Amino acid sequence: MEYLVFQLQAPLSSWGEPAVGEFRGTAERPGQSALIGLLGAALGLLRDDEAAHVALRDGYGFAIGLLNPGSLLRDYHTAQVPSRTALKGRPHATRRQELSVPKTDLGTILSTRDYRQNAASLVAVQPRQGAAQPYGLAELEAALRQPQFTLYLGRKTCVLGAPLWPQCMTANSAHEAFTAYALRFEAARQAAKTSHGGVPLEPLPELQCLAFDEHIEAGLAHDLSTRRKDQLIRRKNWQFGDRDEYLAFLPTPSTSMPSSPSTPSKV
């Protein structure tokens, strides 16, 4: 089977969870809508191109290999916003246009926003069986190498801390693809040593958890399933639905013990 694998590393990332009141939480790993948004930005898709985003949603299965959940950072956030009445009849496609109202029409909103510090994940993309793919994996790889729009991890303040380094590869499962990717990454890292022995970037951390949907061959039996409200419905209006996500936890090297082999399964 063919997979596209890439890494997500950043000093700050934020993977939005359902917002309640003034609180804006974050998950430890990206959801489906975030990955579709990332691919869409790399391809140069506009937010109001609903059909193109739906095609990405329905064309591929996704798996996330959590390398490091990072640590939580909570930000007390203030922002100036005009009232709906003040915006009526005015163009406000940009922040500059939004604020181009009399200062008396500006108010302040307060919110608490969560981020993950120094989190790292791998992502595997697999074409869904029986579904039409709007792009080949090689096209997606090329777009991630030379994105049309600026890429960020959840919010515009969350810039990439390392290249995505997308790689197309053949493997029997996403878990196997992640293992092969880590070996390829380390070989490339060592090959890039300087004359003084310095190595660019740090080695990838050990895989801790696999999160995947039902449309990808994960290669591991899941330990639990959960409902997550991150299935894209309408990108332009920020509408999302529920979907099932499956989690398989991997033992850390310090706690790993011999166990009977289990048959890799697709949910």
Instruction: Look up residue 198 and give its two tokens.
Output: 């310095």
Q: What is the mean pLDDT of residues 123-142?
A: 96
The yes-or-no verdict on residue 263 having pLDDT over 60 is: no
State the DSSP code for 10: -
pLDDT value at 180 more than 90: yes
- Across 171-176, average pLDDT: 98
Q: What is the mean pLDDT of the chain?
A: 89
Residue 174 has pLDDT above 80, yes or no: yes
Nearest CA to 177 out of 187, 165, 169, 186 is that of 169
Give the pLDDT band (50/70/90) at residue 256.
Answer: very low
Per the CB < 8 A criterion, the answer to whether 5 and 60 are in contact is no
Confidence tier at 85 by pLDDT (50, 70, 90):
confident
Task: Taking each helix axis as running N to C, give the angle between helix 32-43 and helix 137-145, from 0 to 180 degrees, rounded to the nearest 10.
Answer: 70
> Which tokens sit at 265?
């399964």
Give dist(CA 114, CA 97) in Å, integer. 27
Residue ranges and CATH numbers for the domains of the chain are: 2-70+118-249 (3.30.70.2660), 73-115 (no CATH)
Which of 42-46, 89-93, 105-109 is the most confident on average? Answer: 42-46
pLDDT at 189: 92
Residue 57: the pLDDT is 94
Query: 253: pLDDT confidence band, cut at 50, 70 and 90?
Result: low
Largest separation between any pair of C-alpha atoms in the chain = 69
Which residue, 45, 43, 11, 17, is CA-closest to 30? 17
Neighbours of 223 (CB within 10 A): 12
The pLDDT of residue 86 is above 90: no
Confidence of residue 257 (pLDDT cuts 50, 70, 90): very low
Quick: pLDDT tens for 6-45. 999 999 999 988 777 788 889 999 999 999 999 999 999 9
pLDDT level of residue 102 (50, 70, 90 thresholds): confident
What are the residues facing 4 on neighbouring strands? 125, 168
> pLDDT for 91-100, tens place per residue?
777 888 888 8
Tens of pLDDT, residues 182-194: 999 999 999 998 8
Tokens encoding 230: 């991150």
Average pLDDT over residues 230-244: 82
pLDDT band at 264 (very low <50, low <70, confident <90, very high): very low
Q: Is the pLDDT of residue 72 over 90?
A: yes
Q: Cα separation of 144 and 224, whole Å?
A: 31
| Residue 54 confidence (pLDDT) | 93
